[in-house]
Amino acid sequence: MKLTSEMIKKKARELGIDDVGIASIDRYKNAPPMLNPKNYFPDAKSVIVTVMRIPRGTYRGIEEGTHWHNYTFYAYNRLNTLFRPKLTYALSCFIEDYGWEAVPNYPAVPERNPSRVPVAEGKLPGDIVTNIRLIGVGAGVGEMGHSKVFLNPKFGPRVRLGSILTDAELEPDPIIEPGTICNSCGRCVRECPGNAIPPITDPDKKLTVNIGGKDISWGDVDMGRCTLTHHGFNNTISPFHKNAFPNMEFDVGKAEITEEEAYRLCYPIATAKWTKTPYDSSDSAVIDYYNYVMNHVGYFAVCGARGCIRACMDNLEKNDRIENKFHNRFYKKKSWLLSNTKREKTGRINPWREKWLDKNYPGIRKNEY
């Protein structure tokens, strides 16, 4: 049965998908081999990219410093792993009803892949994980922002993407010219609390891949610092970390750490337990909130994309570079940051014990250590 691009887009709109783009598979011929969709499905002729918006209001709680887990649930993890994939699945079934194979492609993190020996001579090592942002560029649903965050003409950086590979040959959409949405304002660089995004003017801090005949460039983001900040190891944006480690003056913005090392540091701490004591009001979790949100969602995102999304969307809205408009500005006041320095002078062994003793038994600790 005949299947057209317009039929797929019409179905996507009926399902509630916010935007759809289509690319011919040959646009990705220069993509790195481990990220190339052709190496996932060699018979693919077309790539369909689905776009789901992030509601701007999911950032409100973090911006006010009063509510965090809506961001993890509605703007990040569950939008990416539950709400959006259900619609991608339904669209894939629609395509297969017309006799064409559809491969719904989960936007996994390629750099977290395990190293594996190829299953046969001449094969690439597993797993092939396409770069969903490069796929999106090739399908004409947006461009790469300097911060590596994907920018859509309708919603700017407030999107999550999915893709479907198919052997149906479909009419492709035009690629958006780089620089159509991003105006190189540098807000993402200045307002990233992890100092993870390089200066726009630094030519040595750019990555470039040719997609569909166009050179697509973005900043070579320090993903170790980004991951530490995103997962709340940065005192300046996480009151939860600050409460649990009041004496730690670790400066994420100067950290030399890889993304994988950052994951291995943040996730164990998020689920870590420690002995409850009479002078410590917390339960046995090292960081109460992280343990709470991990139990509910299995993920925790803390920084709220302060530079790469919130500052970026403010700039794009002010400069009329995206279509989704609002009656009111997002920022009502200057966005907050916490100090990285100690809140107060404490002892060197156990600040919770020392504070409790000093309050209830002044002088009892003299010459104790």
Question: Helix or strand or coil: residue 163?
Answer: strand
Residue 92 has pLDDT above 70, yes or no: yes
Phi–psi pair at 299, nearest 5 degrees: -155, 155
* Model confidence band, residue 88 (pLDDT cutoffs 50, 70, 90): very high
User: DSSP states of 66-129 as a string?
Assistant: S--HHIIIIIIIHIIIIIHHHHHHHHHHHHHHTT--EEEE----GGGPPP---SSTTPPPSPP-
The pLDDT of residue 316 is 98
- Return the structure tokens found at 57: 């209001």
DSSP secondary structure code for residue 275 in this structure: -
Query: Closest by alpha carbon to 143, among 172, 97, 174?
Result: 174
The pTM (predicted TM-score) of the whole model is 0.92
Rounded-to-integer distance, Cα 284 and Cα 203, Å: 48
Sign of dihedral through CA atoms 153, 157, 160, 166?
Answer: positive
Q: Name the more confident of 350 and 52.
A: 52
Question: Helix or strand or coil: residue 242?
Answer: helix
Are the CB atoms for 186 and 200 separated by under 8 Å? yes
* Model confidence band, residue 110 (pLDDT cutoffs 50, 70, 90): low
The pLDDT of residue 109 is 72
